[in-house]
């Protein structure tokens, strides 16, 4: 049974009266943050340009488009075989960028972990990956598109760059959670750095490494869908862009959306199945 307590602040004013305030500083900051964000949201809706908006036409047209998308899905501009091929391209982009990113991030994370590396090297890598993570993936893709040109190469490089920065943070934090007693015991026996990594760090964190890698794969799949249109990388994302922005075919948009949704569910079920099969003790 948990007992939740709140901090009470008692302050005597200059006139002798006592002021009592409940809660702590964090609660007050959260409260005012929510109030300010709510106020800004309301103001944003008030300053929208509603010129030319006719709700009597907009609402029925929106309902019709939603009906066509989700109740009457169909493929009209390409076949099921082509659709499966395009989904395979999207999965390939996500898989390649994730696997390469996980391998590179593993070695960088070893140098970024404070318990496995020197302070200056750890701080340097952490600052670099923080800067990379601050830039959205689509911007990295466009940056690499200048050198490699629009296509799958730029998409993979952009997703790879951001995946490495994301996984370095996740992996290094997992490495830092390893029991210090184990590391000290191996060091006392004369084990070198790589022996400590392979016999203590890796076995203790393998579950977390796999979980973070698969999570990043799911993220990269979503990004690959968007990059199919933004970077001309092809895949099901490009077909979705063509159906919505070129053909204006809501039925085809609905079918592609369903395909992406089903694939995302399959990836989630696969992740859960792998963890329960190979790491049953930690998946409960």
- Report yes or no: 226 and 111 within 8 Å, Cβ to Cβ: no
For residues 94, 96, 101 and 107, what is the CA-based torsion angle, rounded to 10 degrees?
Answer: 150
**What is the CATH class of 77-283?**
mainly alpha
DSSP string across 47-71: TS--TT--HHHHHHHHHHHHHHHHH
What is the chain's alpha carbon radius of gyration, rounded to the nearest angstrom? 26
Question: Residue 193: what are its φ and ψ, rounded to 5°?
Answer: -65, -45
169 CB neighbour count, 10 Å cutoff: 19
Question: What is the pLDDT tens value at each position of the chain, 284 positions in all?
Answer: 444 444 555 555 555 555 555 557 778 888 899 999 999 999 988 888 877 777 788 888 889 988 988 888 888 888 888 888 988 989 998 999 999 999 999 999 999 998 888 889 999 999 999 999 988 888 888 888 787 777 778 888 888 989 999 999 999 999 988 888 888 888 888 888 888 888 888 888 888 898 899 889 988 998 888 887 766 677 888 888 888 888 888 899 999 999 999 988 888 888 777 777 766 555 44
Minimal CA–CA distance to 197: which of 125, 113, 124? Answer: 113
How high is the pLDDT of residue 157? 87
Tokens of 177: 């959670």
Tokens of 269: 């079920």
Element (H, E) at 124: helix 119-134
User: Rounded CA gap, 36 and 248, in Å?
Assistant: 39
User: Rounded CA gap, 131 and 11, in Å?
Assistant: 44
Q: Which residue has the tokens 């006719």?
A: 54
pTM: 0.75
Question: Residue 103: what are its φ and ψ, rounded to 5°?
Answer: -65, -50
- Report yes or no: 159 and 137 within 8 Å, Cβ to Cβ: yes
């Amino acid at each position: 049974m948990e007992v939740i307590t709140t901090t009470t602040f008692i302050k005597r004013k200059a006139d002798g009266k006592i002021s009592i305030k409940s809660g702590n500083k964090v609660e007050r900051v959260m409260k005012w943050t929510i109030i300010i964000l709510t106020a800004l949201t309301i103001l944003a809706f008030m300053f929208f340009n509603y010129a030319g908006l006719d709700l009597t036409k907009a609402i029925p047209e929106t309902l019709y488009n939603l009906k066509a998308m989700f109740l009457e899905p169909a493929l009209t501009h390409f076949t099921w075989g082509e659709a499966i091929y395009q989904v395979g391209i999207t999965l390939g982009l996500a898989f390649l960028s994730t696997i390469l990113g996980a391998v590179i991030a593993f070695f960088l994370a070893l140098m970024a972990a404070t318990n496995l590396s020197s302070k200056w090297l750890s701080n340097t890598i952490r600052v670099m990956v923080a800067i990379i993570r601050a830039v959205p993936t689509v911007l990295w893709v466009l940056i690499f598109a200048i050198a490699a040109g629009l296509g799958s190469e730029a998409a993979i490089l952009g997703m790879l760059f951001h995946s490495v920065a994301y996984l370095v943070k996740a992996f290094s934090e997992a490495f830092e959670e390893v029991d210090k007693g184990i590391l000290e015991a191996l060091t006392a026996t004369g084990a070198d750095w790589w022996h400590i990594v392979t016999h203590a760090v890796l076995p203790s964190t393998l579950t977390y490494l796999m979980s973070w890698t698969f999570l990043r794969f799911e993220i990269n799949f979503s990004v690959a869908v968007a990059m199919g249109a933004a970077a001309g990388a092809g895949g099901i994302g490009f077909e979705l862009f063509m159906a919505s922005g070129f053909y204006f075919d809501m039925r085809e948009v609905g079918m592609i959306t369903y395909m992406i949704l089903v694939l995302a569910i399959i990836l989630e079920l696969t992740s859960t199945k792998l963890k329960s099969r190979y790491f049953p003790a930690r998946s409960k």
